Amino acid sequence: MIDACCLIDLLASGQAEAILRATGYGWHLPSVVQAEVQYVREHDPDNPGSYRNVPVALTPFVGSGVLTPCQPDDPREQDRYIHYATLFRSDGEAMCLALAECRGWTVATDDRKAILVAQQAGLSVISCPELVKAWADATRPDATSLDQVLSDIRSFAQFRPNQTMKEASWWMSRVKGT
Amino acid sequence: MAENQSLDPRILGQRISEARKSRGKTQEEVAEFLGYSRPTYIAIEKGERTAKPDEIIKLASFFGRKVNELVRPGEPVTDLQPQLRAVADKMKTGDQFQAGLNAAIDQLQALAEDYQELERIMGAPHRPSYPPEVVLNLKLDPAEQAEVVANQERNRLGLGDQPVIELRSTLEWDVGLRIFYTTDLPSSIAGMYAHSAELGACILINRNHPPERRRVSMLHEYGHFLLSTDRYKPGIDYLTMPGRKPGNERFAEAFALCFLMPATSVRQKFHDIVATTGDFQVADLCRMKHFYFVSLEAMTLRVEQLGLIPKGTWESLKESKFAPRKAEAMLGLPSHPVADEIVPERYKYLAVHAYERGKLGDSDLAHYLRCDIATARETVARTLTSREVEPSGEERAVTMNFDRSLLGDTR
């Protein structure tokens, strides 16, 4: 299960599909998350030093089987969705946590509050640094390519790992070295 | 399935009812959509029956709302939307215009509620410093009364007669007005004003207009707020009102110009220029327009009104197709800082602080700031970073901890 925050961070890397595949998990995309992930930033060729938003196409990810759409289907899932919707101002976070809870899935999120709420609910959580590290370990990219991925996530998604995230220190040590 | 314990049926019913009205649906239509009788549906709106999770999800989709908007805890703000919608309904306009107005009213309602929610989360109640209401004397010229009130208000706020460049911040921090921007308003509408018992004075300004015009619009709405007849009355204002304007409109219009361009200051500046150069030229008018951060039209009309240049000067400038922006660029006048974010500064600080404390997540923050997640994170970094200069002259970024107390132990 992946939320909008984490998906935006991975999309910013330009290697989202490879990273998701490298984890070995089957990834599910809640219907409302799909609607929340609309744009990703990239360098603006017309204005050096600035960014532009480009629309995200998730259909190829779904078509290739990397992401499988899902939504709350039974009354218990719908009940938990409503419960989590009272805690967040994003339906995507609410649906992710509800489905992860009811289906026993791991939730991939970089959202500070979602991580906290998921942990309190006893859910298994994974974040961007751990996913990127798994990809790096599995595919062994050269140092330049790996640093480019971290740099792109940092600049296009403005992501900075939280100290409590697994592999945050690995991430920070690599970023400091560049 | 047991009823969701985190839901208050009365509040849920109120939010469903408000969403239905906002979508222009009747109770009959919604009942039919759900496949229920009208009394069964009415029981949901009244809070006598809690909507089931699948019903809430269906209703959110039917009303074009997010699920969290219907189930968010806390009392809804009940008086803004209906009051403004009643004003909008009386305006004889086309469907597209009406749709734009309704979208803007919904946006104001949502922003005002979010502002209140942030204050609650952060334990930072709103403490406005509203001036007393002004009673308009019908035997006197409203414009002259506006001049007096504008000077009083400037004195009360300690502004002297200098230009107020950071006007939005001043009205927000020093008066306590809640000023939001929107791009949804039709282009002929300058802004709208409403007063809520819970929120106080709320103003929505058309962001599509140039900054100089937005400044006039903010003060125009503030002028209405000052009047005893208008403070608790919602209003939607056109850019220009056709026909003879009533006294309150003339007051609000004159108040805006007098506040932005105090007579003593404008006269002083004019006489200084004439004494120094022996003339007063279009370039001088452009410099004054830039100094007070107003439109060329507003500046010219003000100088005309004070009898410093002949009446009709603005008309002749307009006929000559004079381009003020081009003139400003030729004179090398720098741009003013422009605050054109949808949300006010205090609101932004509350949201960033709540995020830093872990009370909001990244997606929540993006919602509150009405932007995408990357922009929300960027806003946090910018808000928490101060650029300082080292003794060596080098610039350094200092990251601030908002929660660090600066009071000494001895207090």
Q: What is the pLDDT of residues B62-114, one digit of tens each?
A: 999 999 999 998 888 877 888 898 898 888 777 788 888 989 999 999 999 99
> Which of B397, B368, B362, B396 lies closest to B383, judged by CA?
B397
Residue B386 tokens, joined: 């101060």
> Which of A45, A110, A151 lies closest to B376, judged by CA?
A110
* Residues whose CB is less than 8 angstroms from the CB of residue B290 and which lie 6 or more positions away in sequence, other chains included: B328, B331, B333, B336
Tell which of B55, B59, B343, B363 to mutate to test the A interface (max A CBs under 10 Å): B363
Mean pLDDT of A144-149: 95
Task: Tell me phi and psi for residue A67, to 5 degrees.
Answer: -120, 135
User: How far away is chain B from the Cα of A15, in angstroms, using its nearest Cα?
Assistant: 18
In this prediction, residue B224 carries a pLDDT of 96
Find chain B residues with C-beta within 8 A of A86's C-beta: 4, 6-7, 68, 71-73
Inter-chain contact A81–B2, Cβ cutoff 8 Å? no
Which residues on neighbouring strands pair with residue B397, listed in sequence order?
B387
Inter-chain contact B377–A8, Cβ cutoff 8 Å? no
The Cα A8–Cα A51 span in angstroms is: 15
Interstrand relation of B178-182 and A125-126 (parallel, antiparallel or unpaired): unpaired
The Cα B159–Cα B165 span in angstroms is: 11
Tell which of A82, A88, A128, A158 to mutate to test the B interface (max B CBs under 10 Å): A82
DSSP H or E segment with residue A85: helix A75-85
Q: Flag whether residue B368 sits within 8 Å of chain A, measured between CB atoms.
A: yes
pLDDT tens digit at each of 411 positions of chain B: 445 667 899 999 999 999 998 888 999 999 999 999 999 999 999 999 999 999 999 999 999 999 999 999 888 887 788 889 889 888 877 778 888 898 999 999 999 999 999 999 999 999 999 999 999 998 999 999 999 999 999 999 999 989 999 999 999 999 999 999 999 999 999 999 999 888 999 999 999 999 999 999 999 999 999 999 999 999 999 888 777 889 999 999 999 999 999 999 999 999 999 999 999 999 999 999 999 999 999 999 999 999 999 999 998 888 887 777 676 666 677 777 777 899 999 999 999 999 999 999 999 999 999 999 999 999 999 998 877 888 888 888 788 787 777 777 655
The Cα A94–Cα A80 span in angstroms is: 8
What radius of gyration do chain B's Cα atoms show? Answer: 25
User: How far away is chain A from the Cα of B295, in angstroms, using its nearest Cα?
Assistant: 30
Inter-chain contact B362–A39, Cβ cutoff 8 Å? no
Burial (CB count <10 Å: 0-12, 13-18, 19+), residue B35: exposed
Confidence class for position A120, pLDDT limits 50, 70, 90: very high
Say if CB A71 and CB A103 are below 8 A apart.
Answer: no
The Cα B272–Cα B280 span in angstroms is: 10
Which residues on neighbouring strands pair with residue A53, listed in sequence order?
A41
| C-alpha B340, offset from chain centre | 10
Find chain B residues with C-beta within 8 A of A10's C-beta: none
Interface of B with A in 374-393 (CB under 8 A): 374-375, 377-378, 381
Tell which of A86, A119, A127, A154 to mutate to test the B interface (max B CBs under 10 Å): A86
The Cα B71–Cα B65 span in angstroms is: 11
In this prediction, residue A177 carries a pLDDT of 63
In this prediction, residue B320 carries a pLDDT of 81
Inter-chain contact A75–B359, Cβ cutoff 8 Å? no
Find chain B residues with C-beta within 8 A of A4's C-beta: 363, 373
> Which of B142, B153, B138 lies closest to B226, judged by CA?
B153
Residue B48 tokens, joined: 């006598």
pLDDT value at A176 more than 80: no
In this prediction, residue B396 carries a pLDDT of 81
Inter-chain contact B6–A86, Cβ cutoff 8 Å? yes
**Residue A85: which of B71, B355, B359 has the nearest Cβ?**
B71
- Whether pTM > 0.80 for this model: the answer is yes
Which residues on neighbouring strands pair with residue A41, listed in sequence order?
A53
Task: Tell me phi and psi for residue B189, to 5 degrees.
Answer: -100, 130
The Cα B42–Cα B38 span in angstroms is: 6
Interface of B with A in 80-139 (CB under 8 A): none
Interface of A with B in 28-57 (CB under 8 A): 36, 38-39, 41, 53
| 8-state DSSP, B175 | I
Q: Flag whether residue A22 sits within 8 Å of chain B, measured between CB atoms.
A: no
Q: Flag whether residue B364 sits within 8 Å of chain A, measured between CB atoms.
A: yes
Transcribe A25-71 into DSSP letters.
PPEEEEHHHHHH--EEEEE-TTSTT-EEEEE---HHHHHTTSEEEE-
Q: Flag whether residue B359 sits within 8 Å of chain A, measured between CB atoms.
A: yes
Inter-chain contact B53–A82, Cβ cutoff 8 Å? yes
**CA atoms in the 13 A half-sphere facing the CB of B298:** 25
Long-range contacts at A57-60 (CB < 8 A, ≥ 24 apart): A58/A29, A58/A34
In this prediction, residue B410 carries a pLDDT of 59
Inter-chain contact B361–A75, Cβ cutoff 8 Å? no
Residue the block writes with tokens 């929300």: B376
Average per-residue pLDDT for chain A: 94
Residue A10 tokens, joined: 């991975």
* Residues whose CB is less than 8 angstroms from the CB of residue A14 and which lie 6 or more positions away in sequence, other chains included: A149, A152
> Which of A105, A78, A117, A34 lies closest to B362, judged by CA?
A117
> Which of B351, B390, B391, B387 lies closest to B369, judged by CA?
B351
| C-alpha B55, offset from chain centre | 35
Long-range contacts at B141-144 (CB < 8 A, ≥ 24 apart): B142/B247, B142/B248, B142/B250, B142/B251, B142/B254, B143/B250, B143/B251, B143/B253, B143/B254
Find chain B residues with C-beta within 8 A of A85's C-beta: 67-68, 71
